[in-house]
């Protein structure tokens, strides 16, 4: 039996390989939801309106490798900085690791099951609507609060 710690406990986010970095994504789809920032307080509010590229059932980007060609302002999380952290959900592995926290038990790297994120109610599949179906001026009517 090995006592080796998993890579996410041994390495900083900056030191991870591309494959390690990508494996931290739990596939919840929350980062693909549009957020609205309160101009007065700077507080970020989530909507249930997703990027047009998100498959709203599977929580997977329809064009992940070429997403910046379709959505130039798609959040490029790597390298991660304080501004980007504000736009990621608290449940996100990148956020947790950057804060020195442990991954949640439902995270696929912990559970061994890619469906565990959805079974835990973290994934947005079936609970969001594409931006192609909601005019921008209606987004404030789609504010939500997700539980972690």
What are the extents of the domains in the chain?
A: 14-144
What is the tens place of the pLDDT at every residue in 77-131? 888 888 888 889 999 999 999 999 999 999 999 999 999 999 999 999 999 999 9
Instruction: Identify the burial level of 29 via C-beta atoms within 10 angstroms of its C-beta, where 0-12 means exposed, 13-18 middle and 19 or more buried.
Output: buried
Helix (H, G, I), strand (E, B) or coil at 143: strand
Place of tokens 């007065």: 40
Beta bridge partners of 35: 46
Helix (H, G, I), strand (E, B) or coil at 38: coil
Give the pLDDT score at 145: 84
* Predicted pLDDT at 2: 60
Which long-range contacts (C-beta less than 8 Å, at least 24 apart) are formed by 54-62?
Answer: 54/29, 54/124, 54/128, 54/130, 56/124, 56/125, 56/126, 56/128, 56/129, 56/130, 57/125, 57/126, 58/125, 59/27, 59/28, 59/29, 59/32, 59/118, 59/123, 59/124, 59/125, 60/27, 60/29, 61/32
The model's pTM is: 0.89
């Amino acid at each position: 039996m090995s006592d080796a710690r998993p890579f996410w406990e041994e390495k900083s986010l900056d030191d991870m390989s591309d494959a390690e970095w990508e494996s931290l994504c739990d596939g919840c789809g929350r980062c693909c939801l549009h957020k609205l920032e309160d101009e007065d307080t700077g507080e970020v509010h989530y909507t249930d309106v997703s990027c047009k590229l998100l498959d709203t059932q599977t929580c997977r980007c329809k064009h992940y490798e070429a997403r910046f060609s379709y959505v130039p302002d798609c959040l490029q999380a790597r390298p991660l900085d304080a501004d980007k952290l504000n736009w990621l959900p608290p449940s996100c592995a990148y956020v947790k690791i950057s804060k020195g926290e442990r991954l949640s038990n439902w995270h696929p790297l912990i559970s061994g099951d890619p469906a565990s994120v959805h079974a835990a109610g973290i994934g947005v599949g079936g609970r969001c609507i594409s931006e192609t179906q909601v005019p921008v001026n209606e987004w404030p009517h789609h504010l939500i609060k997700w539980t972690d």
